[in-house]
Amino acid sequence: MKLRELTEGVKVKEVNADLDTEIKGLCYHSRKCEKGFAYFARKGLKYDGFRFIPQCFEKGVSVFIGEEGFKDYPSIIVEDILEAQAQISANFYGNPQDFIKIIGITGTNGKTTTAYFLKEGLNAGLISTVDIYTGKRIEKARLTTPESTDIFEYLREMVDSGFKYAVIEVSAHALSLKRVFGLEFDAAVFTGFSQDHLDYYKTMENYLNAKLKLFSMLKKDGFCVFNTDIDVAKRIADLCVKGIGVGKKETADLKIVSIKKREKGIDVVYLIDGKEINVSLPLIGDYNAYNLGFAIGVLKGFGLDVGSFLKKVEKGFSVPGRVEKIDSDKGFSVIIDFAHTPDGLENLLSSVKKHTKGNLITVFGCGGDRDRSKRPLMLEAVCRYSDKVFVTADNPRNEPLSQIFEDIKKGDNFGKDVSYIEDRKEAIVKAIKSAGKGDIVVIAGKGHEDCQIIGDTRIPFSEKEIVAEALKL
């Protein structure tokens, strides 16, 4: 594609390149740059992309795009590099967003499970915290919502694979950093709202406003599905021309009538269009009744059949790293889950407690270089339901574990048995060794992740492998 075609619709300030240059690819990371590519030069929170311009030029990059001038290099100067990156990426990949219905899911917790329900219910392409699924490839995700360049490439692959729907988890950061700029959503889902990311947003109001941006990106005939039982429900409803509320309140369009626990899941009764529908969900946790409800709401919004989808779910459904259960031959179970916020831990552990015949043993930690104010709240949530607690490393990044532990200790431990062990593998092994018949060991915080971030290094770390090893011992 020629550079002049690539920059259509972009707010350009200055052109210092031949617009007839043929562009073969796009890159925003120097490692992925090749001959004939266009490079997006950006200054991020940690890295300055301008530093890599010389080495990218040596690789054969044809043009550099950014908000500042590039001395001695072919360049396009734009007003907003994030918007320009999204628009150029959409152009390069043939505007795939015009040929597929897009569902965006936001909320502090519940995005991934809801996304996986919708992947099944819509036979959709998926961009999630866990996996990317385009029909052409399945790959592990690195961010909840990837960069705009990657999103448009994935959407192109979905369209070419024949998908009619794409499900995208949309984080607050993605909305703030314009990773989904240029998309219009056919449906927007808001799962819930609780404390997280205050290291970046400073206040809950700022965090909420970031998430609410999703609703300004709805198509004119688009609809939203939201949780009626949260404090901000009215603010969400007011933003929706067509809204489908899910919850226990009488005002809900899709009402959750009852939730009953059973040994390996929950039985949920929904009231939909005046009819009660019973679902035996093979997942524990009242919150999963909501997650399934959001998915049902989206299917209803599109006028699609719900019955066949629910039958499929009842036969078997799971999400990697979300209430992932491993049974021991010694009569206890281990659950691996991504819960990493006070609300997420509260929801998870209160549900698991109902299914625990013996002791509930929890392993958790708090990420470094992140919101410090939630750390004591996480200890309170864990100790409220657990009989024994092992506090350990999560992804400490560049923050000393001693500081993280000190912050956690400020929370009320309710007089519970709490151990602080720096090495996460050691903590997991000790927790499992302490378990007896009827106990459940919950390992929270990392879920599907296959590495631990220490400093700036990603170290391979599989909790499933560690659990399997510990169970053998």
142, 286: one domain: yes
> Both 308 and 339 in a single domain?
no
> Both tokens of residue 198?
């205050």
What percentage of the chain has pLDDT greater than the value 90? 85
292-340 pLDDT, tens digit each = 999 999 999 999 999 999 999 999 998 988 999 999 999 999 999 999 9
CA dist., res. 333 & res. 356, Å (int): 9
Last residue of a domain, one of 274, 296, 315: 315
Q: What is the pLDDT of residues 46-62, one digit of tens each?
A: 778 888 999 999 999 99
Residue 202 has a pLDDT of 86
C-beta neighbour count of 367 within 10 angstroms: 20
Alpha-carbon gap, residue 462 to 370, rounded angstroms:
22
Q: pLDDT value at position 61?
A: 96
CA distance 142 to 129: 7
181 assigned to some structural domain: yes
Angle at 453 between CA 442 and CA 375, to 5 degrees: 55
Q: How far apart (Å, rounded) are the C-alpha atoms in residues 260 and 365?
A: 30
Whether the full predicted model's pTM is greater than 0.75, yes or no, is yes
Torsion region of 110: left, alpha or beta (phi above 0 gives left; psi -120 to 50 gives alpha)? left
The band of 142, judged by pLDDT with boundaries at 50, 70 and 90, is confident
The predicted structure's pLDDT at residue 227 = 96
Of 103, 417, 415, 396, nearest in space to 407 by CA: 396
Closest CA to 114 of 105, 101, 124, 122: 105
Structure tokens at 34: 């090749």
Burial of 357 (0-12, 13-18, 19+ CB in 10 A): exposed
In 3-state terms, what secondary structure has residue 457?
Answer: strand
What is the span of the domain harbouring residue 430? 324-472
> What whole-number distance in Å separates Cα of residue 111 and Cα of residue 292?
11
CATH number for the domain spanning 182: value is 3.40.1190.10
Q: Are residues 53 and 182 in the same domain?
A: no
Instruction: Give the pLDDT confidence score for residue 302 in this predicted structure.
Output: 98
Q: Which of 190, 214, 208 is nearest to 297 (CA)?
A: 190
**Does 88 map to a domain?**
no
Do residues 24 and 145 both lie within one domain? no
H helix intervals, 240-285: none
Q: Nearest CA to 122 among 183, 164, 185? A: 164
- Mean pLDDT in the chain? 94
Q: Tell me how far apart the 2 most distant CA atoms of the chain are, in Å.
A: 72
Q: How far apart are CA 453 and CA 461, in angstroms?
A: 9
Give one word for 123, left, alpha or beta, with left for phi > 0 and alpha for psi -120 to 50: left
% of residues, the chain, pLDDT over 70: 99
**Which of 315, 350, 378 delimits the end of a domain?**
315
Whose CA is closest to 77, among 47, 40, 105? Answer: 40
The arrangement of strands across the sheet holding 63-66 comes to 12-16, 75-78, 63-66, 37-40, 25-27
User: Would you say residue 64 has pLDDT above 80?
Assistant: yes
Q: What own/partner pairs with CB < 8 Å and gap ≥ 24 does 239-248 have?
A: 239/212, 239/215, 240/188, 240/215, 242/301, 244/297, 244/300, 244/301, 246/290, 246/293, 246/294, 246/296, 246/297, 247/290, 247/293
Which of 1-10, 151-160, 257-266 is least confident? 257-266
- Residues 250, 269, single domain; the answer is yes
Close Cβ partners of 375 (under 8 Å, ≥ 6 residues apart): 366, 404, 407, 408, 410, 411
Q: For residue 45, what pLDDT is reported? A: 66
Q: At what angle do helices 148-160 and 81-92 cross, to 10 degrees?
A: 20
38 in any annotated domain: yes
Confidence at residue 75, expressed as pLDDT on a 0 to 100 scale: 94
Q: Specify whether 168 is located in the same domain as 276.
A: yes
328 and 311 in one domain? no
pLDDT of residue 120: 96
* Co-location of 233 and 351 in the same domain: no
pLDDT digits (tens, 9 = 90+) for 112-133: 999 999 999 999 999 999 999 9
On the question of pLDDT at 110 being above 70, the answer is: yes
Tens of pLDDT, residue by residue over 368-407, are 999 999 999 999 999 999 999 999 999 999 999 999 999 9
* pLDDT given at position 193: 84
Q: Do residues 376 and 287 both lie within one domain?
A: no
Bigger pLDDT: 44 or 102? 102
Q: pLDDT grade, residue 143 (50/70/90)? A: confident
Provide the terminal-to-terminal Cα distance of the chain, rounded to the nearest Å. 58
Residues 213 and 276 occupy one common structural domain:
yes
